[in-house]
Chains A and B, each alone.
Chain A
Amino acid sequence: MIIIGSLLIAGCGGPGLFLPDAQLEALRAGQSGDSRTVYFSRHYRVLDDERLSQTTHRVLRVGTNARTSPDILSTPDGSMERLQGFQARVSRRDGSSDSYSRSDLSSVNLSSSAMIAETSVKFLNVRTSLEAGDLVEIVTTHEMGLLPLGIRFSLDQAGDRSTNIHCSFEVRTGDTLQILVANDSLRPSITRHAATTVYSLSWPSFKGHESRFVLDRTNGTPIVFASVGQGRSPLTWVAFGDWYLQMINPKISLSGAHEEMARKITAGLSTPREKMDAIFNYCQKSVRYEQVYLSQGEFIPNEVTTIFNRKFGDCKDYSVLIYAMAKGVGLEPNLALCFRGRGRQFFGDITVSQFNHMIVHFQDGGDHLWYDGTNRTGLPGLTTDDLTNAIALVLTENNSHLVEISESPDNRLILNGRLRSDGNSLKGNLSIELRYQYAIEFFWTTFRLGEQETRDALLRWLRRDISEAMHVTSLEWRTDGHRFLIELDCEFENALTTIDSNTYVKPSRVFDSLLPDLVIDKMDQVFYYPYYGRISANVVLEGLGQPAGIASDGGVDRFAWRFACDLDPGPFDEEERADFVAHYTEAANAFRQTIKLRTTKEKP
């Protein structure tokens, strides 16, 4: 549910610093092996149109097994969240306490060969060791830039098994705050002051979501989304899109030489789709993925000419380069924001802080095409399957809107082969074909790695996604357009059971990783399907016998095991969920059947 408040009354400032001694002392009660957060308060205060102050007040009770420094002794400091204030104290069981200020913090820059960023972690070195039952109280204030990105507060930030959690938002009179409390029925209490209004939420405790069911959503923790709109109007997707496009506009102009390159790449191509595909292919191959985050580079792309010249960048850089080159040849693409990673519930009303990735959208007639340069080996018009059915915010002047990224209907994992008996083992060859979005990660593997590491990666994939029981004796692979093909010779030990003159084979034991064995206890935990859902198998079993009533093929026992399923990847709404479970159950029952084969001739 979403609440929109239009603020008219002026009011108070932020919270005080340390807790009153009596309140702090009350938090000492109880003990645990782990160190636990026993008080967590986050207060957001709007400073002006672009800035936000975030004050975090936390108390940690040191656990009986404490051996390492608790995480709360560190706090980030960077261009996206600048540390403005710091105060801490350690309150000991014997009643003594030490106080600390910002000048007691040491610093470590997080830049590495993987990422160059203006981000540091500040560490508090406590003067004397922490003992079980000590309370560490820390108050930090950060200034956050780029207010239109919105605010996202997840209870994960308070920590697993934390207690006394509070979150509040203080906005100026005249501005509009939208709040959405996701995964919880809680509503904020509102306190109006003269110049501001404060929206507050509290939770007595929080238990993490770590033992979630594999089909359950990955963002099931209570999360508060908030955004601030100037004046009476809430911040809409349209308003956000206009703000962002205006901000990055100076960065996306192509030089003459680069425009010339775009024309050269698309020369001789007639349709807009062909031109988009060609620009995309050029950009994804020529630019390598690197993270260099200077001056809020986590959210603001580099200039297109810089990206073009140094040939590296992150998702935003790929996207603005594709976008600018496509514009340069007269096409009308759009930038689009989305979340890369499956199993996320999307909240359509609010806010942009739900996104972590940028791609390019292009509408070709009625078709929505997507271009994601970060894949380096992606297929034009398609995302990788970790964006399947995700919601993207397509950025268009005056018309930014949400569009679903559909799964390619051509995705499929095809398993064919021929296996024969060898004692109680099966031996033979298999071919595995992965099509369209299923193939992209394999294109990347072969593009990125040398032969030996590719072999290693494929063997691990076979073990994880086809059969843990399989011993591979030879392995070859190749790419063919939208397909990735694996050919292998292999053996499955202990695959057959022979009782009297019957041989029993259970494909789900042979291909024990192909379709996961899921026990679905609670329907509401089914949110998405993170495995290969579109599978076809046709494996010929030779020399094992024939099913009753079926004659052998010219004296040779030959039986073809066929299996197919088409499981939707989700995410599911209530109706789709029931359908999915029915389809999965049907597929799993077929997959787990034991095949009984009667020997048609005497064994030597």
Chain B
Amino acid sequence: MNNIVDLNSIDTDWAWARYEPKSDSDWSLAHAAHLYRRAGFAVDRETLEQAITSKSVELVHKLVHTEKETASFESESQSLADLVLATAKVENLPAWWTYRLLHTGRPLHEKMTLFWHGHFATSGEKVTESKLMHEQNQLLRKHALGDFGVLLHEISRDPAMLIYLDSVTNRKTHPNENYAREIMELFCLGEGNYTENDIRELARCFTGWEIRRDKFRFNRYQHDTGKKTILGETGEFSGDDGVDIVLRQKAGPEFIVRKLMKFFLFDEPEPADTLVKPLAEKLRNDNWQIGPTIETMLASNLFFSKHCMGRKIKSPVEFAVGFLNALEGTTNLYALSNGLTDLGQVLFFPPNVKGWDGGRAWINSSTLLARANLIRSLLDRKETRFTAGKLSDFFDKHNLRKPEQIVDWLEQTMFAISLSDELKNQLAREFDAGKANREQRLRNGLHLMCTLPEFQMA
């Protein structure tokens, strides 16, 4: 991706000011689709058309402040979780989460849960107890847009996290430095904002924090009660004191905002300090409440500008779930989850403690082919249905009879980047090509469109 403009030169006040569309072209289906792609996992056409009857700030406000899922959704989600947990196979958990991603009434909360899942990366590869992985996921969801400080405290005692970081025992004679290192380097401050001594001293705070029979336990006999000096503060700190000290560092909000900007706004370039600082300041002033910062980000001029629209590569989960959501699709969720393996992102199985790299790392010759194969397999599966029916019925329902209409409709609904007229004409011809029946031709055409480079962008 080439930089359109040097982001350092952008007026910061303009960037974070509320987006106020001046004309219809400033608030179109493309803008609404952009919002739902980034703040969720895409939506169907009807939702997009309704969206443009509201103001952008109202939509963002609703996305951030939808407090609860419906009782029926939570009940269904729980029954699926019960099944998955009863099988005791952590490999079945991704299907449960994918169900949530497809049917949630709070897409931004699920998106943020995914963000925190990559941030506080914990893998079922090592934590094979599905109950623990499920509990951690629920914890991330509970605080997805809430108080980062509370989340950090709770994740520090989370059994799945501590098992993943080999920190089930932590004795005062041999403080385990794993968690202390990750909380500073990966979870809160970033490299260069602490010393090796800070890690050793923070590790002493966590002594006595143990996991026994899958539960957190504080073993007071193993806790180092002596004085510690961490990041310039000295005292007889406990583990919670240590977490609070980390949370007080100025570098913290900047580190989190920078990561959120890369997640929601653009893959490249690295966000400029001038853009990061105002939001970091806000996050600090909001006492680590994440929601208001996200709301500012998503309702901003920058978010709806050419610097952001179409400037991210879809993650595999966004790619697959977005495909189904846009086309009101359903399918075999076990197969879908397994199918994401070759694309490089399986929920509950991040590759390492750093989570997924994202950005350009999503795409290489192998994963690009895997993306095409995934769509093909989705379209070939008998379980894949569009509004509970065939693809031809789906297009008929939307009064899309001609190939040209279908291509235009798909472009508006599913593409972040406009297609050239020449390409669209070519695609329309492909929708009519071959001797297969209409349903098969439509599926072939749709598959072709989803393999385009443009479709990989969000």
Q: Determine if chain A interacts with chain B.
A: no
B residues within 8 Å of A by Cβ?
Answer: none
List residues of A whose CB falls within 8 A of some B CB.
none
